[in-house]
Structures are given as C-alpha cells and as structure tokens.
Amino acid sequence: MESDTKVSIYFGPHSWFEKQLGKEKRHYLLDTVNDYDEAKRRIRHTIEGQESTEIMTPTPRSDCLIVMSSDYASLQEHAITNFIGLIRQINPKHLILNNPPKMIYAQLVRAHNPAVEFYTYPAVTRDTLIKFRDGFSQHLVGQQKVREQMLAALYPLTKEGRTRPIVLMFYGPSGVGKTETAKFINGLLGGELLRKQFSMFHSDKFASYVFGGTHSESSFARDLLDRSSGVILIDEFDKANLVFHRAFYEIFDQGIFEDKNYRVKIGPTLIICTSNYGSEDEIRLALGDALYSRFDALIRFEPLSPDEIRQVINRMVDNHVDNLSADEQAILERDEIKSKFDAHTGRYGNVRELGKLVEEVISVYLVRAMLTEVTTCNNPVLLKNEESAK
C-alpha cells in the first residue's frame, strides 16, 4: 500500500520547532503508540486464545502526528529500525518530526520525500564585534589581551559563505573569567548557552555520551541538535580522557558531529573549550599535534592582580546586594563589606571561592542585624513584619 503521508522534518531547538507547527489538530506519537499497545492488549483479552492479527486503524485518521526530539529515547529499538512500518500503521495525514536520529531520517528520505528545514543559529556579525569590544569591560575585569584576541578570532565568522566553526581554547588558572567570557559572547548572540562540563563524565557513561549508545541514552550529538545557542561551550576540556579526543576532529574541522545515532551539522558556530593549562606548549604536549592544530586560536587568561581582584569583589558585592530586598539593603553598608576583603585580595587567587565568601559575609551581617533586633527592636525588617502583623 502506498502511503500518502506528508512528512516534514525540523532540525533545531524545541522552542523553534513548536513555533513551526500549524493549526492542525495535534497528536503525539508517544500517546498514539501507547494507545495502540493498550488496544492490542484489550483485543487479546476479549478474543480468548486467539491471537489477533488485525491491524489497528485509529479513527479518525490523525491530521498531524508529532514526534518530538525527546521521543526517540522512549521508543523500542524495533520501532526505530522499522519506523516506516510504524508510521504506515498509524497512517497520519501529516507527520512532523524534530531532530530524528539518522536511521529514521534515512528511512523517511527513502520512502516519503520529506521537506527538511534547519534552524538558523545566531551568527556573529560586525554588530556583535562592536558590542563585544564596547561591553567587555562591563563584564570582565582586566583581561584586555583576551578582548583583542577574541575580536580577531571572531572576525572570520562575520564573513558570508563560511561553513566551518571557529574553535577556541581558553586557558589559564581557575576563576579568572574564562567561563564568564563565553557567557558574555553567548549573551550577545542569544539562545541558551550549551555548556558541557567534561569533568562530569567518566569512563563508560562518557563513551556513550560522546560516541553514541542506545537511543535512550543522552548524547552530545542530541544536545547539539537540541541547542538554541550560537556558542558551544566545552568546559574543562583538559579533564576529558585522551580516547575521546578523536571524536572532536571532524566537528572542529568541518563542523560535523556524527555518533552512532545522530549526525549534526553545526555550521559556522563558535566552539569554546576551556582548560587550566598553563602554556601553549603544555596544551600541545597534552593534546597532541593533531588536536592542537585544530584550534583556530589559543587564548590565554592571566591571573588577576590584587587590584583586579578587588574590582571583582566590589562587583560581586554590588551584584549581590542589588538582588536583596530594599529592607535588607538598608541594613548593609556596601563600603564596609567591601573593605572586609581588603586583606584578601593578595592572598586569594581563586575568585570563585571569593564569590562564596562574599555571600557568607553578607549573610552574617544580615543575620546579625536580625538577631540583635530581637532585643533592641529597631531592625527595619522585623519592625515591618510586626506592623503588618497588627
């Protein structure tokens, strides 16, 4: 039986996929499959001893059957290997899929001549570069060389007709603004940053994440397909095992990432890897020439000077206090809090720890104020609470 099911395939983030759907009444593949299984069980039950071979036909024929990116993980492997058979059975008028695995994609291309659309990811333009140049020091203290190097490194992405990504390696000590810089550039481009921390994955779990496992397992390829961001951040690249390095050759070179189940074309995107390497020589030695040479630029982040650390602290205090309620803000003396850290600026190399300390110090002030109020009764927070209780 020839199928007249019309097929549309969308590669891109979920939010965009949702917007592509028309006004047709929607059915979802997983619901439909569940209904089928349920109905089959009922038939077997009623016709005792007789195995029903009857093919279930839903009534009425579904106008629009939707398959979401996360659905493939819930399908049985045989439903994926014979996806066409499943669709013939359901026989919808219109089948719409988001980010299908390559096995399903190939079947659909062979049998249904699908319309395929790709999401257009935010691109680096001249305007992005201007905003990066002018906004850098509002987001980052120091690291002026990073700013200049980044502008030069991003430039090729502004050229039309570029198809491959730009791959950068940020290196330097912890807590000096590497991740912050990646967030800043992604913020200029838009979309939720795809950030993968490679230290979080170990051994066999990581193998299936990178090379692909069963359809139900999470994978880097699917995360790439589902992403909405213009930047792909691979944090702690130095913590990934050597055996995974070859998985990155093709994506760095051609912008194509392929694992067992998925094939993703990422195009002229910005890939940022971060690491704690101390020098270019160290990177070359640790990663080997093959991978080392695939980075378009290696960008060194310097340790922060005591004065720069002070500026970072001041910003942290201001940010933190700005997010408190007006009553809490009234209790706090910003300058006094900031001065508490004067003695620390020389000693603290790691700003990340300072961030926690800032929070702690502010909490100590707030709680102290609250508790002394119990006896002296002039804490504005408490007074207000008492008033409203009356």
Ligand X SMILES: Nc1ncnc2c1ncn2[C@@H]1O[C@H](COP(=O)(O)OP(=O)(O)O)[C@@H](O)[C@H]1O
Tell me if residue 114 falls in helix, strand or coil: coil
Q: How far is the CB of 2 from ligand X (least distance, A)?
A: 57
Strand ordering across the sheet containing 231-235? 194-197, 231-235, 270-275, 166-171, 297-300
Which of 312, 145, 153, 284 has its CA nearest to residue 231? 153
Binding to Mg ion by residue 8, rule CB under 5 A? no
Q: Residue 257 forms beta bridges with which residues?
A: 264
Binding to ligand X by residue 175, rule CB under 6 A? yes
Cis peptide before 156 (omega within 30 of 0): no
Binding to ligand X by residue 179, rule CB under 6 A? yes
Interface with ligand X (CB under 6 A), residue from 75, 140, 167, 317: 140
Q: How far is the CB of 180 from ligand X (least distance, A)?
A: 3
Q: Which does 310 bind (CB under 5 to 8 A by kind): Mg ion, ligand X, none?
A: none
Contacts with ligand X by CB under 6 A: the residue count is 18
Residues 275-334 that bind ligand X (CB under 6 A): 301, 304, 312
Binding to Mg ion by residue 179, rule CB under 5 A? yes
**Distance between CA atoms of residues 300 and 286, nearest Å:** 16
Residues 80-139 that bind ligand X (CB under 6 A): none
Q: How far is the CB of 161 from ligand X (least distance, A)?
A: 33
Q: How far is the CB of 185 from ligand X (least distance, A)?
A: 12
Distance of CA 9 to the CA centre of its chain: 22
Contact 312, 141 (CB under 8 A): yes
Interface with ligand X (CB under 6 A), residue from 174, 208, 228, 314: 174
DSSP track, 200-268: G--HHHHHHHHH--STTS--HHHHHHH---SEEEEETGGGS-GGGGGGGHHHHHHSEEE-SS-EEE--S
Q: Which stretch binds ligand X (CB under 6 A): 70-78, 188-196, 333-341, 347-355?
A: 347-355
Binding to Mg ion by residue 186, rule CB under 5 A? no
How many C-beta atoms lie closer than 10 Å to residue 29's C-beta?
25
Q: By beta-carbon distance, which residue lies closest to Mg ion?
A: 179
Binding to ligand X by residue 355, rule CB under 6 A? yes
Binding to ligand X by residue 142, rule CB under 6 A? yes
Binding to ligand X by residue 224, rule CB under 6 A? no
Contact 215, 73 (CB under 8 A): yes
Residues 73-112 that bind Mg ion (CB under 5 A): none
Q: Which stretch binds ligand X (CB under 6 A): 168-176, 237-245, 282-290, 372-380?
A: 168-176
Binding to ligand X by residue 178, rule CB under 6 A? yes
Which of residues 239 and 265 has its CB atom nearest to ligand X in the complex?
239
Contact 353, 312 (CB under 8 A): no
Q: Identify residue 137 by its one-letter amino acid code.
A: S
Binding to Mg ion by residue 219, rule CB under 5 A? no
Q: How far is the CB of 246 from Mg ion (least distance, A)?
A: 24
Q: Residue 27 forms beta bridges with which residues?
A: 65
Binding to ligand X by residue 177, rule CB under 6 A? yes
Q: How far is the CB of 350 from Mg ion (least distance, A)?
A: 11
Q: How far is CA 344 from CA 68, 174, 358, 369, in A?
A: 51, 17, 11, 24
| Max Cα distance, the chain (Å) | 86
DSSP track, 146-203: HHHHHHHHHGGGGSTT--S-EEEEEESSTTSSHHHHHHHHHHHH-S--EEEEGGG--H
Which of residues 177 and 268 has its CB atom nearest to Mg ion in the complex?
177
Q: Which does 355 bind (CB under 5 to 8 A by kind): Mg ion, ligand X, none?
A: ligand X
Binding to ligand X by residue 345, rule CB under 6 A? no
- Which residues contact ligand X (rule: CB under 6 A)? 140-143, 174-180, 274, 301, 304, 312, 351-352, 355
- Which residues contact Mg ion (rule: CB under 5 A)? 178-179
